[in-house]
Amino acid sequence: MFFDKFFKSSKKVRPNEKVRSTALRRKNLSADMNKNTVQIKRSIGNPADLVIRNINDEDKPMMVLMYLHSLVDINQLGSQVIEPVNGYINTSKHGINPGILQRLLKSSEIMEYNDIHSAAEGLLNGQTLIVLPDSEKITAVSIPGFVKRPIEDSVTEKVIRGSREGFTETAADNLSLIRRWIKDPNLRVESKIIGERTKTNVYTLYLNDVANPDVVKELRKRLEQIKIDGIVDSGYISELITDSRVTFFPLVQDTERPDKVAAAILEGRVAILVDKSPFALIVPATSNEFYQTPEDFSFNYWIGTFLRLIRFIGTATSIYLPALYLAVVTVNPELMPPYLVQLIASGRSHMPFPLVIELGITLLIFEIFREASVRLPGNINVILGIGGGIVMGQGAIQAGMVGGVTVIVVVFTALASFSTANPSKEQAWRLARYFLLFAAGAFGLLGLASAGLIILAHMGSLKSFGVSYLEPFAPPLTVDSVDAFGRLPWWASFRRPPTYRPQQEDRLGTTEGEDEA
């Protein structure tokens, strides 16, 4: 409560109006071509990559082209703008006015600006400005030529069977990926510019006749309230629109997979695409969503159910195993078979540290290995894996610093943690693991149960855009709960998940079951 209030009043998180950038002020264009050119040049600080090309008919200035060569495709500019204009100048004795210019240009995306501010923004967005003499308007053509990554397989959410498309850093490309999945005229795409300096394009996607209008309205409101100078990644948006600022659990789902986003939109949820970020956001998000993958639906529903159960067991193991091991060995050994107690006790008889310290340090070392390995080049990563994982682990056991069972527990925990289908959720559980570990170290199974209850109570109090984070388990929704632990066959899934309160509960299209009904 205290933290909530503290963060709500923090001006660092949400800067007020006073600190907003006023770098570009609105100023109308004049009829003087040179004056307009100079003002635009000044307004963006005459950057090194700004190209100003004068096109003259003998000595008579015909037009000025302004563009940033880092953002424009020069070849396209030549063929779509310069060539037709030169052709016209060579054949016609008349000057060029905006109407003629629009007919000459071959580009499909042509804009007109009336003020310096908008024109400068267009320039910074990669447009080429065409300034004409005696005109109070500037024509702009969009010929993007910036470097972009091709569509590749998702890095963080790989599947054996399913789509190989992953999002890239270009929002327009990502939008096209979604549009290729959903060809419904009810798919709404709303655009918003966020970030005083980055002017980042943020798209909101939803099905007009399915998504809950309250959620859409609330999302618009929250996006509207964002006052920040820059959006560098969708993570910024995620943190700024979340329902609770003091939790480490993700309340906004992020994904690199367009098929996941398309499925979410079809369920009645709302997707957010952020330019320059390969991660789309989906709201509302319940805890259950983070354990599902598109692969569950690619395989037979029996296999899908099995995979989901394995994922739940894997996640539970990664969260509880170190704490359970600690509680059972140090505080409640009566839980184990006598032979196992002897085995572990004999292995630990010469250990220099208490188990809680040994386990804590080993987990921490593994975390450091993991963090380091993310930033290492691929080939060195393999060496680190062998050197760190096998040689150091073996060395530590032989030196009598760490117990063999401890290493098994830590390595298994680390591997099991990757069974969570979403990296954000997995990171959250990483933190929870230490809380459980120290509670179990202090109070055994009672501490473990208490820490578990505290985490659950915290999760129970969370909401994502009005939806309880623990749905469909709490409040209990019977069919949804079955579909959460397992995977319902498509022929039995007539309804969209009621968790997200869609406008249309029935999925469109008919199935055999519906026909008979």
Partner 1 sequence: MLKEKTGIGPGLLFCLVFSSVFGFGVMNAPYIAAKYGGPNGYWGVILAFFLALPVMLITVKMGKKFPNKSIIEYLPLIFGRFIGKTLGFILLILVLITAVWGTRTITDLFSEFFLPRTPVWAVTLMIIITVGFVAHKGVEGITRVAAFIFPVALVFIFMAVTMSFQGFNIERVQPVFLIDGLKIPYNTIQMFYCFFPLATVFMIYPYLTEKQKGLKTVAGAAFLAIIPIFIMVFSAIGIYGDKGVLRYGWPMLQMTTQAKLPYIFQSFGLFFAVTWYSQIALSLAGLYYTSAQGFSELIGASNYKWLLLVLLPVSYVLVLLVPGLIELRNIFNYLRIIGFGIIFTWPLITWLISLIIKTGELKHAS
Binding interface with partner 1 (CB under 8 A): 1, 214-215, 218, 243, 331-332, 334-337, 442-450, 452-454, 456-458, 460-461, 463, 465-466, 468, 470, 473-476
Least CB distance from residue 224 to partner 1, whole Å?
Answer: 14
CB 301, min distance to partner 1, A: 21
**Measured distance CA(315)–CA(485) in Å, rounded:** 13
Nearer to partner 1, 314 or 444 (CB): 444
- In the complex, the smallest distance separating the C-beta of residue 199 from partner 1, rounded to whole angstroms, is 28
Q: Which of 360, 198, 167, 390 is nearest to 279 (CA)?
A: 167
If the CB atoms of residues 453 and 508 are measured against partner 1, the closer one turns out to be 453
> Where would I find the H helices in 25-110?
33-43, 74-77, 83-91, 98-104
The nearest distance, CB 308 to partner 1, in angstroms, is 16
Q: Rounded distance, CA 402 to CA 394, Å?
A: 9
Q: Answer yes or no: are the C-beta atoms of 261 and 271 closer than 8 Å.
A: yes
212 vs 406 by CB, closer to partner 1: 212
Rounded least distance, CB 445 to partner 1, Å: 5
Count of all residues that appear for the chain in the document: 517
Alpha-carbon gap, residue 77 to 105, rounded angstroms:
10
Cα R_g (the chain), whole angstroms: 29
| 60-68 vs 467-468, strand pairing mode | unpaired
Residue 190, strand partner residues? 204
Closest to partner 1 by CB, 141 vs 327, is 327
Cβ closest to partner 1, residue 300 vs residue 503:
503
CA distance 57 to 33: 15
Provide the minimum distance between the beta carbon of 473 and partner 1 in the complex, in angstroms, as a whole number.
Answer: 5
Amino acid at 455: I
Q: Find residue 207's DSSP bridge partners.
A: 187
User: What's the distance, Cα to Cα, between the start and end of the chain in Å?
Assistant: 51
- Residue 420, phi-psi category: left (phi > 0), alpha (psi -120 to 50), beta (remainder): beta
CB of 286 to partner 1, least distance (A): 12
The residue (of 87 and 213) whose beta carbon lies closer to partner 1 is 213
Residue 215 CB, shortest distance to partner 1, in Å, is: 8
- The smaller minimum CB distance to partner 1, of residues 303 and 445, is found at 445
Rounded to a whole number of angstroms, the minimum distance from the CB of residue 463 to partner 1 is 7
Identify which of residues 260 and 308 has a Cβ nearer to partner 1 in the complex: 308
Which residue in 431, 464, 453 sits closest to 244, CA to CA? Answer: 464
Q: Which amino acid is at 299?
A: F
What does the CA dihedral 45, 50, 55, 58 come to, rounded to 10 degrees? 80
Query: In this complex, which beta carbon is closest to partner 1, that of residue 304 or of residue 444?
Result: 444
3-state secondary structure of 147: coil
